[in-house]
Structure 1
Amino acid sequence: MMEIPLFTVDAFARSCFDGNPAAVCLLEKALPEELYQNIAAEMNVSATAFIMKLSSTDDFSSGATFSLRWFTPKHEIDLCGHATLASAAVLFYHRENTNTEVVFKTLSGELRVRQRGESLVMDFPLSKPEVQDQSEYKDILKAAVGDMDIKEVCLSETSKKLLVRLTDTCDRSAFRSMKPVAEDLLRHEDGRKFQGIIVTMKGESVPLVKYDFVSRYFAPWHGVFEDPVCGSAHTVLAAYWSEKLRKKKMLAHQCSKRGGELELEVKDESRVDIAGQAVVIFQGTLKL
């Protein structure tokens, strides 16, 4: 029997049941390829992360570099922010890793995560979107946001995400309560051009906090209708809003039912720091 340490972590959350839940598995060695997807489907959260030692002499408490892969319930993905944050939380908070920074080798290159007070800071690639002709996306925009007024549509070809910016005068309660139908989105786009829709607005002030921008993210192409808090979507949002607001440091809020807060700092034309908190809420053993 194979036993795999398994954790559930609420990422981009200060307390349990907020933010975005991810499952995290610690692997001594690679699994049979089909097993990764079977485990992710069984966990049935937006992403399951697999942290693997790079050599048998490594240790999760003292090692500084690991392999990291992410799977949605449907397939493997190239980049996942909240599951990376969750993975670092398991290493730092549960395994008490002695390093101030860990490095993950992934399909998106080397990703570094460091501790900063109560937060974890991820060094991620920046994904600049390009402005699109709205008429080209007329049907899916209608399916996604209904009759809400659209200011601009952009596409990030590297991350395969469509960004839809609503006008500043749009009804914010309608933005928070909109419920596109997954089947309608899938009918208008088969995932070849993009695999996720970001809907965003300029920021708002809430008690004690002023957000530079807010967003929601829908990805039925990955088997995840609405992602509660999506780190990879913020690689696109950070690039977009940094240019529009002429700011390098921004505070963002993803307005899903669970919700989550992200601190962003655009470092240069290619990298962005994404910071957030995480809470490990479950520890167990997967027996196979």
Structure 2
Amino acid sequence: MEIPVFTVDAFTDVPFRGNPAAVCPLMHDLNEDLYQKIAAEMNLSETVYITRIDPSDNFTTGSRFRLRWFTPTTEVNLCGHATLASAAVLFQCENNINPTVVFETKSGDLLVTQQEGGYVMDFPLNPPTQQNPEEFRDIVQAAVGNHPVQDVCLSFTTKKLLIRLADTCDRSVLTDLKVNFAALQSSESSGRVKGLIITVKGSADSSPQHDFYSRYFSPWFGIPEDPVTGSAHTVLGSYWSSKLGKMKMLAYQCSRRGGQLDLEVRDDGRINICGQAVIVLKGTIKL
């Protein structure tokens, strides 16, 4: 068996930045354990599989496909950068003729529209709920140490905990954080948290002017730090839209690779996440 595979850097317009995902367009479903084995072999934060829903479709003319996302250790319910990467493969490599493709996923139908300069993803919005910081004292301490914290919120849908640093902290504080991944993972074992967002308000004198910055960690899913995380911005977009009173925002994730996201919170309880993507590798998995 031969399976095509692409490595795509998402949320960037240059190679070796943003967040890499492995994308496998499949003509046929695989054995269940094979999905996970390939993801472990690729060893990226996500490996995504595109499969046809209608057997008469192909990747050039079809407009509706199924997506499944796997980390090196487990299947996940939502992944933004790998969805963006999948659309890039369909549009750039398979020359898909449709302006919009629809992906059937565990998080419902996700639409991705090709536009000049990038792709717009139609994603669910996942508002977080404010929490008592004392209930998450261990994870907060493991994540940010003694830096002042302004808010602690939890998205129950995604199991992502959001820690907002105080406004006295700037981007450099966030970027310079040295998170002990083993300590972070051991600080939370109840299962209520599967991902950690650390965020800080943007600076008015930055260029470009980002509304907020973030970093994202998920050692519980085998991802110590994720470079650029679309699913985290379904939580961040809701949080910062409320705090800033803005529907449209420009966000930057401050990982070592880094990536920029254009966000638009919609009145229908969804969010548009816009980004670019670069194909950096095309190969074949031989089994």
Short-chain TM bin: over 0.9
Structure 1 residues 207, 130: CA separation in 2 closer, same or farther (over 3 Å shift)? closer
Cα distance in structure 1, aligned partners of 2:110 and 2:77: 12
Cα distance in structure 1, aligned partners of 2:160 and 2:254: 18
> For the Cα contact (< 8 Å) 1:101–1:114, is it kept in 2?
yes
Q: How many residues align?
A: 287
For residue 86 of structure 1, give the secondary structure of its aligned residue in structure 2: helix
Cα distance in structure 1, aligned partners of 2:48 and 2:200: 30
For residue 142 of structure 2, give the secondary structure of its aligned residue in structure 1: helix
Equivalent residue runs for 1:162-173 within 5 Å: 162-173=161-172
1:58 aligns with 2:54: no
Q: Which amino acid aligns with 2:193?
A: F
1:134 aligns with 2:153: no
Q: Which amino acid aligns with 1:267?
A: R
> For the Cα contact (< 8 Å) 1:126–1:269, is it kept in 2?
no
Q: Which amino acid aligns with 1:132?
A: Q
1:90 paired residue number: 89
For residue 184 of structure 2, give the secondary structure of its aligned residue in structure 1: helix
Cα distance in structure 2, aligned partners of 1:102 and 1:131: 35
Cα distance in structure 1, aligned partners of 2:203 and 2:83: 28
Cα distance in structure 2, aligned partners of 1:145 and 1:212: 21
Cα distance in structure 1, aligned partners of 2:206 and 2:152: 30
1:111 paired residue number: 110
Cα distance in structure 1, aligned partners of 2:117 and 2:237: 22
Cα distance in structure 1, aligned partners of 2:205 and 2:278: 23
Structure 1 residues 191, 136: CA separation in 2 closer, same or farther (over 3 Å shift)? closer
1:46 paired residue number: 45
> For the Cα contact (< 8 Å) 2:171–2:202, is it kept in 1?
no
Cα distance in structure 2, aligned partners of 1:154 and 1:207: 26
Equivalent residue runs for 1:192-211 within 5 Å: 192-204=191-203, 208-211=207-210
Superimposed CA distance per residue, residues 153-175 of structure 1 (whole angstroms, 9 cap, x where no aligned partner): 00000011000001111153231
> For the Cα contact (< 8 Å) 2:132–2:152, is it kept in 1?
yes
Cα distance in structure 1, aligned partners of 2:235 and 2:149: 18
For residue 122 of structure 2, give the secondary structure of its aligned residue in structure 1: strand
1:250 paired residue number: 249
TM-score by length of 1: 0.98
1:30 aligns with 2:29: yes
1:157 paired residue number: 156
> For the Cα contact (< 8 Å) 2:6–2:279, is it kept in 1?
yes
Superimposed CA distance per residue, residues 126-180 of structure 1 (whole angstroms, 9 cap, x where no aligned partner): 0000000011111110100011100000000001100000111115323101121
TM-superposed deviation, 1:37: 0.2
TM-score by length of 2: 0.98
Moved more, 63-72 or 207-216: 207-216
Moved more, 263-272 or 15-24: 263-272
For residue 256 of structure 1, give the secondary structure of its aligned residue in structure 2: coil
Structure 1 residues 149, 108: CA separation in 2 closer, same or farther (over 3 Å shift)? same
Structure 1 residues 209, 135: CA separation in 2 closer, same or farther (over 3 Å shift)? same
Cα distance in structure 2, aligned partners of 1:24 and 1:272: 24
Cα distance in structure 2, aligned partners of 1:254 and 1:182: 18
Cα distance in structure 2, aligned partners of 1:246 and 1:257: 29
TM-superposed deviation, 1:182: 1.2
Cα distance in structure 1, aligned partners of 2:276 and 2:204: 21
Cα distance in structure 1, aligned partners of 2:177 and 2:171: 10
Moved more, 92-101 or 173-182: 173-182
Moved more, 162-171 or 227-236: 162-171
For residue 81 of structure 2, give the secondary structure of its aligned residue in structure 1: helix
Unaligned ranges ≥5, structure 1: none
> For the Cα contact (< 8 Å) 1:198–1:233, is it kept in 2?
yes
